[in-house]
């Protein structure tokens, strides 16, 4: 199995479910604390606020890594690139570091090759440095690879946490040099109450959140936790310094229970 190159920085700040002043505060605080990777999406309806927080920070653009995701309504021929340009306008930037397809087209209404082709064109035009996918199954990854080549797919961003370790998808991606980005690494806080995670955290004098994030990063995945609280943003960032032992990694591996939290009706593909 080839090890994927780290196309995406290991640690970033997510903005899912955060809007208005809440997202401005979260991103502003994150940037102040040292976050340099920001993940948003067209459907989050917060790109303009994220852009404002970034602009207000005064941090040079080349020190930042900004990701956004194309929504399913923008897949038709001739629609994807204009929608990306609109995202850039809101984010007050000339380019994204990474642009993802947020969800595959429901029931293949728009073929994978059609939207991936447009996304690759956006990369050629310099609108985005890298491109990737999100919520793609093995079958959909195969279609994306056939369309643009694995070398052009930086990451597959999927729900992945100790209770849903998504191993089949992760192994397939890894074998093709596609990095995995784990979203909801803390399973909406559910894994923080897990006795195994808590015990490991106690041993390291760390928080359960740091343990879950460190676990994912040690497996080679990128993580993008979000928080509205300064203390949590600060604490989560310290996960980068935490190293778990092979035995602890094994313990967390046993927590897999196929517990999927995100599967929007009418949008989600048939999961592996």
| Residues β-bridged to residue 65 | 37
Alpha helices in 14-111 (DSSP H): 20-33, 47-57, 80-91
Number of domains in the chain: 1
CATH of the domain at 209: 3.20.20.100
pLDDT of residue 6: 55
Catalytic, 188? Answer no
pLDDT of residue 67: 98
Decide if 84 is inside a domain. yes
Which tokens hold the place of 164? Answer: 């849903």
From CA 126, how far away is CA 214, in angstroms rounded? Answer: 33
For 124, counting Cβ atoms within 10 Å of its Cβ (0-12 exposed, 13-18 middle, 19+ buried), the class is exposed
pLDDT confidence of 19, banded at 50, 70, 90? very high
pLDDT of residue 179: 97
Residue of 253, 182, 260, 191 lying closest to 223 (CA atoms): 182
Decide if 261 is inside a domain. no
What is the pTM for the complete model shown? Answer: 0.95
pLDDT of residue 7: 80
pLDDT confidence of 11, banded at 50, 70, 90? very high
From CA 134, how far away is CA 141, in angstroms rounded? Answer: 10
Dihedrals φ, ψ of 102, to 5°?
-70, -50
Say whether pLDDT at 23 is over 90: yes
Decide if 94 is inside a domain. yes
Residue of 61, 60, 50 lying closest to 28 (CA atoms): 50
Mean of the per-residue pLDDT values of the chain:
96
Say whether pLDDT at 4 is over 90: no
Q: Which of 44, 163, 183, 221 is catalytic?
A: 44
Cα dihedral sign for 107, 111, 114, 120? positive
Asked whether residue 203 is marked as a ligand-binding residue, the answer is no
Say whether pLDDT at 5 is over 60: no
3-state secondary structure of 197: helix
3-state secondary structure of 159: strand
Decide if 91 is inside a domain. yes
Decide if 238 is inside a domain. yes
Dihedrals φ, ψ of 156, to 5°?
-120, 115
pLDDT of residue 2: 40
Decide if 187 is inside a domain. yes
From CA 160, how far away is CA 171, in angstroms rounded? Answer: 13
Write out pLDDT tens, residues 30-61.
999 999 999 999 999 999 999 999 999 999 99
Write out pLDDT tens, residues 169-186.
999 999 999 999 999 999
* Residue 97: CB atoms within 10 Å: 21
pLDDT of residue 3: 41
User: Residue 259 CA to chain centroid, in angstroms?
Assistant: 19
Decide if 2 is inside a domain. no
Q: What is the average per-residue pLDDT within 4-9?
A: 68
Domain span at 203 = 13-253
Decide if 269 is inside a domain. no
Q: What is the average per-residue pLDDT within 95-116?
A: 97
């Amino acid at each position: 199995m080839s090890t994927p190159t780290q196309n995406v920085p290991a640690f970033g700040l997510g903005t899912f479910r955060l809007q208005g002043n809440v997202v401005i505060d979260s991103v502003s605080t994150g940037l102040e604390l040292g976050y340099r990777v920001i993940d948003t999406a067209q459907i989050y309806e917060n790109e303009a606020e994220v852009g404002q927080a970034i602009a207000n920070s005064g941090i040079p653009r080349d020190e930042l890594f900004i990701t956004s995701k194309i929504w399913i309504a923008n897949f038709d021929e001739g629609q994807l690139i204009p929608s990306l340009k609109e995202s850039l306008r809101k984010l007050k930037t000339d380019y994204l570091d990474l642009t993802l397809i947020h969800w595959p087209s429901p029931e293949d209404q728009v073929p994978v090759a059609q939207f991936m082709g447009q996304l690759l064109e956006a990369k050629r035009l310099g609108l985005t440095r890298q491109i990737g996918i999100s919520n793609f199954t093995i079958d959909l990854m195969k279609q994306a690879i056939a369309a643009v080549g694995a070398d052009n797919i930086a990451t597959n961003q999927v729900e992945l946490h100790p209770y849903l370790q998504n191993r089949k998808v992760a192994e397939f991606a890894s074998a093709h040099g596609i990095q995995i980005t784990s979203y909801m690494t803390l399973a909406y806080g559910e894994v923080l109450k897990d006795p195994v995670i808590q015990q490991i955290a106690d041993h390291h004098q760390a928080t359960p959140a740091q343990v879950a994030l460190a676990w994912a990063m040690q497996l080679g995945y990128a993580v993008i936790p979000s928080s509205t609280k300064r203390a949590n943003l600060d604490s989560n960032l310290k996960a980068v310094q935490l190293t778990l032992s092979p035995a602890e990694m094994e313990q967390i591996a046993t927590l897999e229970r196929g517990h999927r939290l995100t599967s929007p009706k009418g949008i989600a593909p048939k999961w592996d």
